[in-house]
Amino acid sequence: MSDVPLDLVAATKRYRDKIVLDELNLTVPAGSVVGLLGKNGSGKTTLIKAALGLVKLDLGSARVFDQPAWHMDADAKSRLGYVPQVVNLYAWMRVRQTIEYIAAFYPRWNWSLIDRLLTEWELNPRERVGTLSVGQLQKLGILVALGHEPDLLVLDEPAASLDPIARRDFLKALLEIAADGNRTVLFSTHITSDLERVADRVAILRNGKITYHGELDELKENVKRLHVTAKNPLTGSFNVPGAVRLRVEGNEALVSVKDASGEVIDRIRADYEASVTVEDLNLEEIFLEMHYD
Amino acid sequence: MTNRYLQVLRSYVRWAWLLPALGIALYAAGVSFSPRLRVHLLAFLLWITLLAGWVASMTVAMLKEQMATPRLRTVPGYRSAHLMVGALLMLITVGVLPIIMARPLHAPTLAVIAIAALGSAALAWIAYWQSIFSMILCFGFLSCIGLPRVQEALTQTIAGQRVDVSIAALTAATLIFAIIWLRLALLYEESSEYARAGGGDPTFNAHPTASPAARRGAASEAHWTNALLQAEYRGGRRSIYNAPLWRRVRHWRVVVGNGRASGVTAVMVATFLLALPMISGQTRATHARRSLIVSLVMITMMAVVPVAIITWFGRWRMLGQESLRPMSRRRFLLEMALAAAAELALTFAAFLLFATIPLYVWAPHQISEAFKLLPVMIAVLPLVLAAILWVLRARNAWIWMTGVGMITALSVVPVEITMKLVQGDLSDHDLYKLLALVASLLALAVIGLRTAFWSWERAELG
């Protein structure tokens, strides 16, 4: 049994002339909760689908539990749970029937977990799927992905349609799953506060490539915004190594840097006779800074 | 015509609509056909009607697909532009195309337009409502062409002797189209037919959002007609992970929700066939019995395809998620194909079983003769399945609809042979030809199934 639940190497996917994934590399370590961040249309869903073998890569490889994603066997798939961005379920079936229908495919199913979540998430087992609200449908989609207690849970913007209470409950359930330590979760989201709450790692997708993948704490530790006030006006040559965003106005500058080490700060102070104040950024601010063109 | 109307018109110019038009134009340009027998004349007229009806139904389906959207109420002039353009296209479809096509018949224009318009209206009605009941109603209506009295009336109409029939048919067609256009003019999100656009009845479909229309569709489950058609899925907590293949295949079929639909439809068709000789008032006439056998084979073959697969198209949206169930991709596709095959076989069996009742009542001595056709009818089925798998591969409602038409056309093979059989045109030598036909059909089916499976193996299901 491989320790690497999900591994993409030089993954390339084009739709006509548009390159969606561009020789992308991403390895999701076992036991981690990885948040996938990216702008709309950055390729998050394609990445997830390619990783699960739902779309075929033009070049490179996608492996799940050391098996080619396109040709996963029953064992690998029984260890995998997936919640798509748009949950499609059969409208005519009741909630109970839907769960039982899906549960039947798996060798084991945690009915006590499902029964508990049904109650906690206020889903009526007798209700028809077609009469559920978008949020309830999303909950049901999550629920049926959890029943077989997958070793790898992949969620594509799972909380997008949930209200704040449901989102909190969902994150709680996700934390319970992650607390096991053996389970791996990859989820894409726009809600950075959710990601900060549950993820221990973050992968940022931009222009078809992973521009950052690592510990969330490390990212927050390293990416800082520096407020620079120099004695003299800062010229166009003002530059800081590792700057992701730079705004200069007179003798003041705002610089967001990837690696705000003491050495970098000391150098700015020395080179520009400036005072430097370091500002911590939350994940949303980091995301915005890293996507500034 | 303002720019708005041109823009709307452009949205209807799709290859699916142009293809039959091109076929018709080529036909009209090249064919010099002079039917001598009445049956050929009627078959030709039926063909014209079906083709015009096919274009009409596609136009109505496209119209509804474009109108059953929020734009209908939020974009100024959207509804009226679509209604106008749709009406124009429909006038061309039922007015101009049949005249071009019917040129070789040298029949009165009014008669051709009236018959084509009535047939087109019936198919447009199915396309608009997209319900199994409208389908049964309209196919039942169209199959009345098998009645000797109706055939007589049609022959006289084409000969220009029954202007009253032409006027009645045209009035009925106008009424049907008027109802459709009126419904479209009043259409809004809570209309019962609103959700039934594009890919069939959403009640059976996987649906992406809990739209009010989808909710209404699902809520209509409580209706007794649906309860009658769908056997309640009892569910249960037994795993099928290590279950035999047949149980797994049965499990895949659950979500299609066909339940008792095949059986109920077969009973309705059998009842219609049972009443057919009484309606025609020729319970003793030999040709009435012959008509019965022809109708039986025709309806059985033609109805099997839509009843068996109409609900499978909506499954596309789910295939990505369903392919992640614990089994290999190849195994998943095999089980799905077998589930579709089971659906087709069970529907066929139900139709065949119930169809023997009218045959037993009205033509007991011809049962053995009719059963000679069974090998041909069965041999067509794998080929039909292959065509279904190819059509389901296309994620396009128009290709799907055209494909269903083509698959249904395959049913003509046993119908043609039936006609020969009941007319006593089949000699012993022809029976050998039948065997060769069965073998050819099966060989074609093997190639079709293999290539369809090969294509599916490469399909991106996400």
Percent of chain A with pLDDT over 90: 45
Quick: pLDDT tens for A228-244: 998 888 877 788 888 88
The closest CB to that of B241, out of A52, A54, A107, belongs to: A107
Percent of chain A with pLDDT over 70: 99
Q: Does B461 touch chain A (CB under 8 A)?
A: yes
Nearest-Cα distance to chain A for B395, in Å, is 15
- Whether residue B189 has pLDDT greater than 90: no
Contact A82 B324 (CB under 8 A): yes
Question: What pLDDT is attached to residue B129?
Answer: 84
Residues 6+ apart with CB under 8 A from B270: B354, B355, B357, B358
Q: Does B206 touch chain A (CB under 8 A)?
A: yes
Under a CB-based contact definition with an 8 Å cutoff, are residues B147 and B295 in contact? no
Name the least confident of A217-221, B28-32, B199-203, B399-403.
B199-203
Percent of chain B with pLDDT over 90: 14
Higher pLDDT, A123 or B33: A123
Question: What pLDDT is attached to residue B202?
Answer: 40
- Whether residue A1 has pLDDT greater than 70: no
Q: What average pLDDT does range B414-430 have in this prediction?
A: 64
Higher pLDDT, B55 or B83: B83
Quick: pLDDT tens for B279-323: 666 555 555 566 666 666 666 666 666 666 666 766 777 888 899
Question: What pLDDT is attached to residue B232?
Answer: 60
Question: What pLDDT is attached to residue B193?
Answer: 76
Name the least confident of A20-29, B265-274, B275-284.
B275-284
- Whether residue B218 has pLDDT greater than 60: no
Distance CA A168, CA A176 (A): 12
Name the closest residue on chain B to residue A102, using Cα atoms: B325
Question: What pLDDT is attached to residue A28?
Answer: 94
Contact B324 A80 (CB under 8 A): yes
Percent of chain B with pLDDT over 70: 63
Contact A71 B204 (CB under 8 A): no
Question: Sorting pLDDT into bands at 50, 70 and 90, what band is A147?
Answer: very high
Higher pLDDT, A283 or B160: A283
Contact B235 A96 (CB under 8 A): yes
Contact B255 A136 (CB under 8 A): no
Most confident range, picked from A235-249, B204-218, B261-275? A235-249
Q: Does A133 touch chain B (CB under 8 A)?
A: yes
ipTM of the assembly? 0.87
Q: Does B84 touch chain A (CB under 8 A)?
A: no
Quick: pLDDT tens for A34-50: 999 998 888 999 999 99
The closest CB to that of B236, out of A100, A105, A107, belongs to: A100
Q: What average pLDDT does range A87-95 have in this prediction?
A: 83
When the pLDDT of each residue in chain A is averaged and rounded to a whole number, the result is 88
- Whether residue B17 has pLDDT greater than 70: no
The closest CB to that of A91, out of B217, B242, B326, belongs to: B217
Name the closest residue on chain A to residue B232, using Cα atoms: A93
